[in-house]
Structure formats: structure tokens, C-alpha cells
Structure 1
């Protein structure tokens, strides 16, 4: 119990500093008194942070929502085929899918950037969040396929699939009518995982976008730059950028745990 309290204090201490600093007057902020309560509470830092980050927050919401939904749907279809409709060489294909999870992003960043730039030369609209949606969808497919393959292999009885075959249902109809309705726990896990990954990404944003058309992480880095940092605005910006993923975990956290457990045992 004592150890849990110690860990909780360690985790919450930076949050305490973030909150205090964000409500201090930017003009009179002093690092020597950073741990003390503000003498004059101010929301100027929040106003400035929101003015700078609001467009990027909207772009990140679009990015994280579309990328997580599309990659989860594609991963669900892949997992269903690998688990319940195996084909010759399916094991090899599945291993190749998983191989994509272990390639460091840093190793492919330069050639990926060159590829995206060559595409943009003939399609100028293909930039910013559009590029990141494609990249996060593609790189999210391996982990989503693994999540759904394990879930379908352990939590969906093969007898149900065979019964649907006897009734004349094909693979896709069986997926829509039988498998998809019972896939909510796995979808919750995949959506939370992908939403968080896309929202928190900075490396892809750094190479493939600019602060003017990139996600909130890139805009936050621009807000924190400069030789005279505005700490109240920066701390407020950090909290603004953290709220969506925090809300997602609070709302779906218990389903996330149950979804992981649903696909862990048979």
C-alpha cells in the first residue's frame, strides 16, 4: 500500500506543477516560486495556449479518429481471416504482418518522407493530416490484426462459424452477421490503442508535416520553442493536448481491460 502511495505521488507531482504553472500570470512567472500557489490566479496562459493550439487540436481529432477507425476495421477483417478462414500460406502472411510491428520508425523515416514528397509533387492536396492518416492507418494494421486475430481465435467459437457455413453464409456475410456483433471488446482495445498512438505521435509529424498543417504535438513543440518560453502557456498547452486521450481512457478504461482479457484465454 505504501509503495502504491509513493508511485501515485511520483506520477501526480508533475501534474500538480503543470496545473499551478498554467494558472499563473505569464508576465510575473518566476521559476524560483514555481512550486508555490499563484498569488494572482490568471487564465491568460490558457487563452493563449488555446488560441495557438485550437486548429491543431481539430486536426489531431480528425487524424486520430479516422486512422483508428479505419485501421481497426481492416485489422478486424485480417484477424477474422487469419483466425477462422485460413488459406495456404496464411501463417507466413500473418508473420509478415507482425514483422511490420518491429521495424523502427526511425529506420524508414527518410525513405518514407521521400516517397510522400514525390506523391505530393503530382497531388498537392496530399499533405498534412491526409498524409498522417494514411501513415498511421498503414502502420496500425499489424497491431490491430494481432489483437483481432487473438480475440477471434480465443473468444469466438469455431462452431458458430461452421454453423453459419452450413446455413449457406459466405465468409463476408458470416463476418457481418455473426462475428462483427461480438467484436466490441476487441474494437475497444484497438481503438484506444490506435487513437492514443496517432494522437501522441510526433516523429511522423516532424518529418511529414509542418506546424501549420500538422497535429497538436507539432504545434505544442512550436509553442514551447523560443529563447523566452512562456511557461504558463506551455503548461496549459500540455494539459490541453493531454485532455482527449485522458477522456478516452476515463470513458473506456474498464472496457479496455476487459477487452484485453477477453482475447487472452480460451
Structure 2
């Protein structure tokens, strides 16, 4: 570089960085957080009423004082609600845990076969399976009741496990099929080259990498079965039914005027699903995104 070129370069003005409008950026961020806080308050209002009322005594838990804090804080409502709902919560766990695991495993097998071990008419079979997601439960409740009676399965926990497994297969199949379509085809071909059959390929190659989808399916099935009320009303009773039936009896029984017990019972009933989403929420979103590339 000549001396003249160096002199021109030295006197060249430095590039001007783009100016950031801090005022506009700060206003947009403030409005965003204000909107988030507003919607958070709207969502938490029912939770506030539930929580506050659950600590009120019988005379204090009145609709006219729903927003007020308790005059005397008491834990009697929580003790009564736990004593009443504890057996039903145990039965609910006995329903949702096996039904979630079984439906997830069956959906995984279906999804693998329909996505990576294609056969003639696989798309038709998959479409027929998905029809189960769009049939309202109310439309099939009478024939379903007759079918359960003809089979002879005892009402309560066994019947509800079977129903949640059967009605969970469509959504679990859809999630696993979409996920397995993102698995590199070379992995499946490598298993075939090594002589692995369909079940061996599934067990040794596909199943170990299916954890994200299993997390999604298990959370979905757990919350669906835990919050179910329609099947529980038709196929169980207050003596052998899940927590939703016991909570309904608690709210509409002899304790109708004791709103504090009803609110404490509602919190007890919703706590397991809330904990599941708090602990596994990030895995739930990650698992959904992992199967959203194809399908």
C-alpha cells in the first residue's frame, strides 16, 4: 500500500453504527411485560379464590366474601378433604399409571409399524385409528356400556384402565408416528442389514431414542385419565371410582354449604397434574417439538 493510500485510509471516517431507539425498545418491552402480567393475574384469580376459601371456616366461607381473606385461618377444611378424598386418590393412581404406560407402549408400536415398517394399506389403517380421536364419547356411551356389561369386566378400576388404554391409542399412535418419521432411515436400514427383524429393530434401535415422545404421551395420558369424569360416572361409583367422582360427591353431598372443604378438595384433586406439568413441562414442549419436523 502506497503512502497516499495509507493517508486516505487514515482520514476515512469510521462506519457509523445503527442507532438503537432505546425509548421505543423500552416502551415495547414494558407493554409486553404489562400484558403478560395482566393475563397472569386473570389466570390466577380462580386459584386465589380457591386457596383463600380453603382456609376459611364454615361461617366465613360465604360467596359474598369470596375475595376477602379469612377472618380466622384454619386447616380443618384440608384435613376433612384429605380424609374424604384419600382413598379415591389412591384408586385414581391405580388407574392412570398403568393406563398411561400401556397406551404409550401400544402407541409406540403402532407408530413404528405405520411409519417405518410400512405395509399395504398402512395409510388406511392409520386413518381409521385416527377416527377414534374425533368420535365424541357421549355418542358411544350407551353401546360402550352394553359392551362392557357383555364382556363382564368389573366396574371401577379395571374397566376404567381398559377404556383409557383403548381411547388413548389414537393420540399416542399419532404422536409416535410423527416422531418416528423424523428418525433417520439409515438407522432402520442398518438394523435390517445386520439381520434384525421388526421387533428387534424396535427394541434395540428405536425404543432407546423414543424418550422425548414417551414423556409427551405419558404426560398427556396421565392428565387426561386423571381429569376424566364422564367414564368415571358411567363405569364406577363413589365406592370404587376415581377422585373426580369423589370430588363431585364432596361438593354436592352433605357438605354442600361448606365451601372451604370443597375448595380444599379441588386443590387436592388438581395438585398431581399441576406438579406433573411443573416438573416435566419443559420436556413436554421439547418432545412435541422433536416430532413436529415431519408428519
Is it true that 1:218 corresponds to 2:242 in the alignment? no
Unaligned runs of 5+ in 2: 1-31
Question: CA-to-partner distance for each residue in 1:136-162, whole Å, 9 max, x for gaps?
Answer: 0000001000000000002x1111000
Corresponding position of 1:147: 175
Contact kept in structure 2, 1:70 and 1:137, CA below 8 Å: yes
List per-residue Cα deviations over 1:70-99 (Å, max 9, x = no partner).
000000000000010001111111110001
Q: Find the counterpart in structure 2 of residue 75 from structure 1.
A: 107
Which has the greater radius of gyration? 2
- Does structure 1 residue 135 correspond to structure 2 residue 163? yes
Show structure 1 runs of 4+ deviating over 3 A: none
TM-superposed CA distance for 1:36, in Å, is 1.0
Count the aligned residue pairs. 261
Q: Does residue 242 of structure 1 match 2:270?
A: yes
Q: Distance in 1 between matches of 2:149 and 2:250?
A: 26
1:21 aligns with 2:48: no
Q: 2:200 is matched with which residue: 164, 173, 182? A: 173
TM-score, L = length of structure 1: 0.95
Q: Is the 8 A contact 1:26 1:44 kept in 2?
A: no
1:174-213 counterparts in 2 under 5 A?
A: 174-213=201-240
Q: 2:288 aligns to what?
A: 260
Following TM superposition, by how much is the alpha carbon of 1:31 offset from its aligned partner in structure 2, in angstroms?
A: 2.4
Separation (CA, whole Å) in 1 of partners of 2:43 and 2:201: 46
Output the aligned Cα RMSD: 1.2
- Which structure's relative contact order is higher, taking Cα pairs within 8 Å and 6+ residues apart? 1
Deviation at 1:61, TM superposition (A): 0.9
Contiguous gaps of at least 5 residues in structure 1:
none
Please give the per-residue CA displacement for 1:37-95, whole angstroms capped at 9, x wherever unaligned.
11111011111111110011011111111111000000000000001000111111111
Report what 2:150 is aligned to. Answer: 118
Residues 60 and 71, structure 2, Cα contact 8 Å, conserved in 1: no
Task: Give SS of 1:73's match.
Answer: helix
2:29 alignment counterpart:
none
Q: Tell me if the contact between 2:247 and 2:266 (Cα under 8 Å) persists in the aligned partners.
A: yes
Structure 1 residue 27 displacement after superposition: 4.4
Structure 1 segment 148-163 matched on structure 2, within 5 A = 148-154=176-182, 156-163=183-190
Shift of 1:34: 2.0
Q: Distance in 1 between matches of 2:158 and 2:39?
A: 40
